[in-house]
Every structure is written in structure tokens, then in C-alpha cells.
Amino acid sequence: MNIIIKGIHMDVSPSVDAYVRKKIQGFEKFIDAGSKIEVDLGKTGHQHKSDQAFLAEYKVFRKGEVLKSSVSSEDIYSAIDLGRDELFMILSSEKDKKMTLWRRGSKRIKDVMRGIGNFGRKNRDLDVS
């Protein structure tokens, strides 16, 4: 898993870099080794301190698809946490969907092999004598 952390209108300190890498380690069960994660951290808003907000944007590149999560907050660490949680929900729901489709297909194949299913056959149980 390749992790790229970039700063937009700000420098990423080593402590923020370590914090992001620590938070991303939980994604290893959803993302294979050949995938890439880009994390863009930045400031939004005006130059006044009261108007500043921090942005955390996660992009996951894997097998020809891109998954994105973008969150802004008043604190850089809370933006990182909220973006990670949103991306975690996206990845876990996608994994659950794939697993459900796999199980449904497996059940259907087993039913066909057992002769239980009525797949494409009309009135299989009726005697047409």
C-alpha cells in the first residue's frame, strides 16, 4: 500500500504525517498491496484565524477505481479523523456488498447443482401427462 501525503497551502509537519499514517494502517484489510492512497491536507477560508478551516481529502486508487472522501473541520486532527471515518464507511459497505453478491451467487449455483432452483424452467413440478 503506497501512501502519499500532501499539503495544500500549508506544510505538513512530521507529527501530522505520523498521525495520518497511523490512522491509515487500519485500511490494510480493505486495500491490497498494489493500491495507492493520497491524502491532501490543507487550509481553507480567509486569512483571519476565526475563518480558517482545515480540509482532509482521501483518495484511494485501486484496480481502476477511485474512492474519495473529503471533510473540513476547524482542527486538522479532527478533519483527519472525520475523513478517515467516512472513507472507512465507504470501504466497509463496498466490501459487504461484494461479499453479499458472492454469497448470493454461490447459493444460487449450489441450488442449481442440487436441482432445487427453478431457474428458467416453467412448471417443473407439474406432471404434464
Domain boundaries, the chain: 2-114
Task: Report whether 41 contacts 12 (CB < 8 A).
Answer: yes
Fold of the domain built from segment(s) 2-114: Double Stranded RNA Binding Domain (3.30.160)
**Predicted structure pTM score:** 0.68
Given a contact cutoff of 8 angstroms between Cβ atoms, the answer to whether 43 and 57 are in contact is no
What's 13's DSSP letter?
A: P
pLDDT on residue 19: 93
- Mean pLDDT to the nearest integer, 27-34: 78
Q: What is the pLDDT of residues 83-119, one digit of tens each?
A: 999 988 888 887 767 777 777 788 778 777 777 655 5
Cα–Cα distance, 94 to 88 (Å, whole number): 10
Who's near 41: CB < 8 A, 6+ residues apart? 5, 6, 7, 8, 10, 12, 16, 20, 54, 55, 56, 57, 76, 79, 80
Q: Give, rounded to a whole angstrom, the gap between the first and last alpha carbons of the chain.
A: 64
How are the residues of the chain apportioned to helix, strand and coil, as percentages rounded to the nearest 5?
Answer: 45, 25, 30
